[in-house]
Amino acid sequence: MTTATLSPTIVQNFDLFAPKLVDREEYFSWGHRACQGCAEALAIRLMCKALGRDTIITNATGCMEVISSLYPTTAWKLPWIHVAFPNAAAVASGVEAGLAALHRKGKIPDKRVKSVAIGGDGGTMDIGFQSLSGAMERGHDILYVCLDNEAYMNTGIQRSSGTPFLGATTTSPAGKKISGNQVWKKNVMEIMVAHNIPYAATASPSYPIDFMNKVKKARAIKGPAYIHCLVPCPTGWRIPSEKSIQYGRLAYETGVFPIYEVEDGKYRFTLPVPEKRRPVEDYLKGQGRFRHVTPDQVKLIQERVDVEWEALLIKMERSKSYTEIREQLKK
Amino acid sequence: MGKLVGMEVALAAAEAAALCRFEVAAVYPITPQSHVAEHLSDIVNDGRVDASFITVEGEHSALSAVIGASATGARVITATSSQGLLYMGEVMPIASGMRLPIVMIVANRAVSSPINIWNDHSDIMPMRDTGWITIFAENGQDAVDMVIQAYKIAENRDVMLPVIVTMDGFQLTHVVEPINIPDQEEVDRFLPPYNPYATLHPDRPISMGTLGMPEIFPEAQKAKDVALVNSIRVIKEVWDEWERLFGRKYEAVETYRTDDADVALLTMGSMGETAEVAVDELRRQDVKAGLVKIKLWRPFPFEDLKKALKGIRVLAVTDRAVSFGGPGGPVFSEVRSALYDEDVRPKIANFIIGLGGRDVQVGDFVTMVKRAAEGKLAEPYEFYGVRG
């Protein structure tokens, strides 16, 4: 059901050849304590494969730190540090600065080790937002990956600024008077683009090759990079655990979560663009968190998604890279 | 043997960190610490030390960034004051729990509200139980020496704890004093390059800052306490070595004219020098007065304090912070608790003084000592000279 609307050629090429090129080594090992169908744990596994061994992970407090680091066990085969909830970007910037200093002085082996921070939507978009903005603005050679499951899942599905409009959480419940989250999801991807960082992208583990390609690209870039990854959470979204990959695809196919990248200021879709987007209802239905949503409200969401999609298309068509603009100005 | 210079203390403290060849500094400006931040960045940008200066966007990130850098094995420095220290509060016990040898300069300042930029100890006191070694400088020479000593203490394999060197804001940070700045070669001899126990590096991957369940959490807390308690041995060894190499003596509890004293003042920080003048004045008036100065706040030097107070009949403890609704100032309750099991112990008065930069003069200390000696003790504590 998922590939029907997609242009067939590229997908076939990826499906046939790319998986064979993926690193067989597991840097985020089995045996961790994530829920069944956790797309966030899957995203980390794929991310680590794309990053390779010369990587240091800084993990914001959240589900992933809890499920992966229960002393004396660890799921991490990469060097890993967890400090607190709001400061993954700051810690990662310190890791980068420390490595750089030791490298300059010849105190550590002469190779490039990438500092990578990961955090959930709360740790990135809310409580960690200041430190994220600071680290990106300062131009550290770090990659920040936001693993967005659209609520504070670790503490029991509370509303964050990543929670979608009308989504029911335990602090934005579908009540008799107020029905679910009353505001639209914060667009952190665009805020990161506004930081003028060399690379920002959205991604999903439902499109693993695309996600891993972006991680590889971001890793290679010297400077700050940001990847916003939508990770369905069966527990919090009230969906069957075997459906998380499917909902990740539906998020893209309906236009609810566009998957694209902004490199050097230039917007680009990275997956085959749906010729005709599926109705948002296909994405909303079956998710317990949207069970209370009325047909009128579905229309409201559809209208918003249409507008945002069109706005994004305009950027895709008209945006130019800074390099192109520079060339133009020279003429 | 060093060079005697006239230098602002905040700048001298930053110079001391430079002599230790710090590798990463992450500092957010706040009055009255800002001169430390500015001078550290001068040092880095002039290439005098091969280091990175991270212009973080807040104190929470300042401490977080040096945690990250320290975890890679770099020697680090940060500095703050007042609200900034409280803002770091969340990360403070994490730094000590992760056993990272971070050195932090704190320019002591009052805590809001009302907002006040001047000196007292209400910022450092709430950090008492965060597991940091905490040392109080009394003057500029202390500040310089203690910053250098701090690295040696923090990085000792038997310690591996972060260290705060506090210096009173403005009253110390912004005054120009004659200070002996040690030579680089001397400091290099005293302080070898940092040799970390464990670091974040792909050649030997480890997990740091993992989840501790009830089965292990209390053991982790106990281990931190044991390390802090035991660190006093290393601190004293480092001070002994310092005295041998540099000729300046440091003690956890210093005394002034207490040998035959009947009544004593107790201070922490820069007011010690004013109190010395007051003691001289009292002696001229035939009051057998002395002075006890606590330099080491954590680990608390119980035995040194008891020894210093031998023979003292009345003790006037000064506090520069308030434990609201509590038993008295934090220094007072600590000192009184330390003496509880002693058969012979002094009567103790508690004067809360110098809040938010309120001036405390020689005459004030004289009055406090006399009132305490006459048995006119404030019960249980007194806001000295405060209206209302």
The domain spanning residue B364 has which CATH number?
Answer: 3.40.50.920
Mutate to test the interface with A, among B23, B66, B206, B210 (most CBs of A within 10 A): B210
- Taking a contact as any Cβ pair under 8 Å apart, which residues of chain A between 95 and 114 contact chain B? 95-102, 104-105, 107-109, 113
- Between chains, do A94 and B70 touch, taking CB under 8 Å as contact? yes
Using the structure block, give the residue that is written with the tokens 């067939």: A8
Clarify whether residues B308 and B201 are in a common domain: no
Half-sphere exposure of A148 (CA within 13 A, CB side): 28
Residues of chain A contacting residue B88, judged by C-beta atoms under 8 Å apart: none
Q: CA quadruple B197, A95, B149, B274: dihedral positive or negative?
A: negative
What separation in angstroms does the CA of A310 have from each of A258, A297, A299, A315? 11, 20, 16, 9
CB A304 within 8 A of CB A255: no
User: Going by DSSP bridges, is the β-strand pair A199-203/A260-263 parallel, antiparallel, or unpaired?
Assistant: antiparallel
Residues A14-31, mean pLDDT to the nearest whole number: 79
Same domain for B69 and B23? yes
B56 interfacial to chain A (CB closer than 8 Å): yes
Selecting from B56, B58, B201 the residue whose C-beta is nearest the C-beta of A108 gives B201
Quick one: average pLDDT of B344-369?
97
**Contact B198/A at CB under 8 A:** no
Residues B297 and B280 in one domain: yes
Residue B279 lies in a domain: yes
Tell which of B41, B200, B201 to mutate to test the A interface (max A CBs under 10 Å). Answer: B200
A133 interfaces chain B, CB cutoff of 8 Å? yes
Average of per-residue pLDDT across B55-74: 98
Determine how β-strand A55-59 pairs with β-strand A114-120: parallel
The interface residues of chain A toward chain B in range 171-190, judged by CB-CB distance below 8 A, are none
Residue A205 has pLDDT above 80, yes or no: yes
Q: What is the largest CA-CA distance in chain A?
A: 64
B200 and B330: one domain? no
Rounded CA separation A302/A72 (Å) = 48
> Contact B174/B144 with Cβ under 8 angstroms?
no
State which of B246, B274, B296 marks the end of a domain: B246
Sign of the dihedral through C-alpha B247, B297, B122, A134: positive
Q: Which of B225, B246, B267 is the last residue of a domain?
A: B246
Q: What's the ipTM?
A: 0.97
B331 is a domain residue: yes
pLDDT for A3: 41
- B145 pLDDT more than 70: yes
Q: How confident is the model at residue B378 (pLDDT cuts 50, 70, 90)?
A: low
> Is the CB of B211 inside 8 Å of chain A's CB atoms?
yes
Read off the pLDDT band of A16 (50, 70, 90).
Answer: low
Q: Which of B97, B101, B106 is nearest to B37 (CA)?
A: B106
**Judgement on whether residues B233 and B266 belong to the same structural domain of the protein:** no
Q: State the pLDDT at residue A17.
A: 58
**Cross-chain CB nearest to A134 (options B24, B57, B205):** B57
CA distance A82 to A108: 22
* Within a domain: B388: no
B319 and B351 inside one domain = yes
Q: Do A79 and B90 touch (CB under 8 A)?
A: no
B147 within some domain: yes
pLDDT tens digits for A228-243? 999 999 999 999 999 9
> Does residue B93 sit at the A interface (CB-CB below 8 Å)?
no
Find where tokens 């990463």 sit. B24
- The confidence band for A2, taking pLDDT boundaries of 50, 70 and 90, is very low
B12 shares its domain with B140: yes
Per-residue pLDDT, averaged over B251-268, amounts to 98
Residue B1: band (very low, low, confident or very high) from pLDDT cuts 50, 70, 90: confident
- B55 contacts in chain A (CB < 8 Å): 138
Contacts of A104 in chain B (CB under 8 A): 50
pLDDT tens digit string along B84-128? 999 999 999 999 999 999 999 999 999 999 999 999 999 999 999
**Bridge partner list, A147:** A120, A229
DSSP category for residue A123: I
Task: Say yes or no: B211 and B259 in one domain.
Answer: no
pLDDT band at B380 (very low <50, low <70, confident <90, very high): confident
Q: Are residues B339 and B212 in the same domain?
A: no
CA A76 to chain B, closest CA, distance in angstroms equals 7
- Check CB contact under 8 Å for A98 and B71: yes
A50-69 residues touching B, CB cutoff 8 A: 53-56, 58, 65-66, 69
> Counting Cβ atoms within 10 Å, is residue B283 exposed (0-12), middle (13-18) or buried (19+)?
middle
For A215-263, give the DSSP string. Answer: HHHHHHSSS-EEEEEE---HHHHT--GGGHHHHHHHHHHTTSS--EEEE
Helices (H) and strands (E) in chain B, counts: 12, 16
Please compute the mean of the pLDDT values over residues B301-307 and round it to a whole number: 98
Report the alpha-carbon distance of residue B378 to residue B364 in Å, rounded: 15
Q: Would you state the pLDDT for residue A21?
A: 77
Q: Is the pLDDT of residue A84 over 60?
A: yes
Query: Chain B residues with CB inside 8 Å of A195's CB?
Result: none
Both B321 and B225 in one domain: the answer is no
Find the mean pLDDT for residues B123-135: 98
Nearest CA in chain A to B56: A134
Q: Is A20's pLDDT higher than 90?
A: no
Interval A115-132 mean pLDDT: 98
Phi, psi of A106 (to 5 degrees): 70, 25
Chain A residues lying within 8 Å of B211, measured CB to CB: 65-66, 69-71
Q: Using CA atoms, how far apart are residues A39 and B252, in angstroms rounded to an integer?
A: 55
Q: Do B68 and A90 touch (CB under 8 A)?
A: yes
Q: In this predicted structure, what is the pLDDT of residue B241?
A: 98
Q: H-helix or E-strand containing B223?
A: helix B217-246
The reported pLDDT for the residue numbered A275 is 86
Residues belonging to chain B: 388
In Å, the largest CA–CA distance within chain B is 69
Q: What is the mean pLDDT of residues B74-88?
A: 98
Instruction: Answer yes or no: are the C-beta atoms of B287 and B264 closer than 8 Å.
Output: no
Count of domains in chain B?
2
Asked if B153 and B133 count as a contact pair (C-beta separation under 8 A), the reply is: yes
Report how far residue B124's alpha carbon sits from residue A325's, in angstroms, rounded to the nearest whole number.
53
Residue B178 lies in a domain: yes
- Chain B residues with CB-CB distance to A99 below 8 A: 72
Nearest Cα of chain B lies from the Cα of A199 at a distance, in angstroms, of 22
pLDDT (0 to 100) of residue A15? 52
pLDDT attached to residue A274: 85
Interface of A with B in 251-310 (CB under 8 A): none
Fill in the DSSP letter of residue A122.
I
Mean pLDDT, to the nearest integer, of A200-228? 97
- Residue B133 sits in a domain whose CATH number is 3.40.50.970
From chain A, pick out residues whose CB is under 8 angstroms from the CB of B54: 93-94, 97, 138
Residue B350: per-residue pLDDT: 96
Q: What is the token pair recorded at A15? A: 């499906």
**Cβ–Cβ below 8 Å for B65 and A102:** no
Cβ atoms of B95 and B162 within 8 Å: the answer is: yes
Of A86, A95, A133, the CB nearest to B72: A95
Residues of A in contact with B58 (CB under 8 A): 130-131, 134
DSSP class of residue A52 equals -
Who among B73, B94, B202 is closest to A55 (CB)? Answer: B202
Is the four-CA dihedral A240, A246, A248, A250 of positive or negative sign? Answer: negative
B163's enclosing H/E stretch is strand B163-168
pLDDT exceeds cutoff 70 at A301: yes
The residue type of A170 is: T
* pLDDT score, position B276: 98
Q: Taking a C-beta distance cutoff of 8 angstroms, is the pair A66, A40 a contact? A: no
Q: Which of these three, B188, B216, B246, is where a domain ends?
A: B246
Which pairing describes strands B289-294 and B253-256: parallel, antiparallel, or unpaired?
A: antiparallel
Structure letter (DSSP) for residue A13? H
End-to-end CA distance of chain A: 49
CB of A147 within 8 A of CB of B241?
no
Domain boundaries, chain A: 8-330
- DSSP string computed for A192-207: HHTTT-SEEEEE-TTS
Do B186 and B295 lie in one domain? The reply is no
Residues of chain B in contact with residue A80, where contact means CB-CB under 8 angstroms, are 200, 205-208
Contacts across the A-B interface (CB distance below 8 Å) = 166
Is residue B239 helix, strand or coil?
helix
Which residues on B lie below 8 Å from A92 (Cβ)? 68
Residues spanned by the domain of B223 = 3-246
Do β-strands B347-352 and B382-383 pair in parallel, antiparallel, or remain unpaired?
parallel
pLDDT digits (tens, 9 = 90+) for B179-202: 999 999 999 999 999 999 999 999
| Percent above pLDDT 70 for chain A | 94
Give me B83's structure tokens. Answer: 């609200």
> How is residue B290 written in tokens?
């002395």
Instruction: Give B83-142 as a 3 state SS string.
Output: HHHHHHCCCHHHHHHCCCCCEEEEEECCCCCCCCCCCCCCCCHHHHHHCCEEEECCCHHH
Q: From A52, which residue of chain B is nearest by alpha-carbon distance?
A: B202
Q: Are residues B178 and B258 in the same domain?
A: no
For A210-219, what is each residue's pLDDT tens digit?
999 999 999 9
**CA closest to B204 among chain A residues:** A79
In A, minimum Cα distance to B90 occurs at A84
For B167, the enclosing helix (H) or strand (E) is strand B163-168
Domain A8-330, what architecture?
A: 3-Layer(aba) Sandwich (3.40)
Interchain contact, A98 vs B76, CB within 8 Å: yes
Across chain A, mean pLDDT equals 94
Q: How far apart are CA A27 and CA A200, in angstroms?
A: 24
Rounded to a whole number of angstroms, the distance from the CA of A298 to the nearest CA of chain B is 41
Sign of the torsion formed by the C-alpha atoms of A256, A257, A262 and A265: positive
